[in-house]
């Protein structure tokens, strides 16, 4: 444990205990090696740590009573779906980002109107990434089971 990590501890009855994180500054956290992240991402990383880095083991985790279990794939099942307005705002933000990242190629002597690029975002909301991952996992699991037979 380095000195910055040790600074996250305090003495209680002569023993080292963790300090109250609400009384720890961001700078102290960063110095100790923590990175700013959402609670969901932290839970995902916790699950990966629990499973020695195996994303497949996290996916297969049977500890359904663990508080992290619903969050173990990095998303919250309790989060309400995005509103239509929010989805549209995300599509527009993606289109703006694509416009900034891929300027049109204009060859010498040519002129080209700067057209809006095709966005990588679908016009219709796509299934949740979790649903896609779930299908991919099920396909993989089915193939693995067939290979084992």
Instruction: Give contact residues for ligand SF4 (rule: CB under 6 A).
Output: 46-47, 50-51, 58, 61, 63, 66, 68-69, 72
Q: Residue 38 Cβ, how far from ligand SF4 at the closest point, in Å?
A: 16
- Closest to ligand SF4 by CB, 4 vs 68, is 68
Q: How far is the CB of 69 from ligand SF4 (least distance, A)?
A: 4
User: Token digits for 75?
Assistant: 């998303």
| Residues 122/123/125/127 CA torsion (nearest 10 deg) | -40
Residue among 8 and 58 whose Cβ is closer to ligand SF4: 58
Q: With respect to ligand SF4, which residue has the nearer C-beta, 23 or 39?
A: 39
Q: Considering only CA atoms, which of 116, 89, 121, 91 is closest in space to residue 103? A: 116
């Amino acid at each position: 444990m380095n000195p910055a990590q040790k600074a996250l501890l305090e003495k209680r009855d002569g023993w080292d205990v963790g300090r109250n994180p609400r009384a720890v500054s961001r700078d102290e956290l960063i110095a100790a090696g923590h990175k700013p992240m959402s609670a969901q991402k932290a839970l995902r990383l916790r699950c990966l740590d629990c499973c020695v880095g195996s994303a497949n083991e996290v996916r297969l985790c049977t500890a359904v009573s663990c508080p992290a279990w619903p969050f173990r794939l990095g998303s919250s099942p309790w989060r309400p779906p995005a509103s239509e307005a929010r989805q549209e705002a995300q599509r527009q933000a993606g289109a703006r980002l694509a416009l900034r990242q891929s300027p049109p190629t204009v060859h010498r002597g040519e002129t080209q109107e700067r057209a809006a690029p095709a966005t990588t975002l679908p016009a219709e909301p796509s299934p949740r990434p979790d649903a896609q991952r779930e299908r991919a996992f099920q396909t993989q699991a089915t193939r693995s089971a067939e290979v084992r037979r």
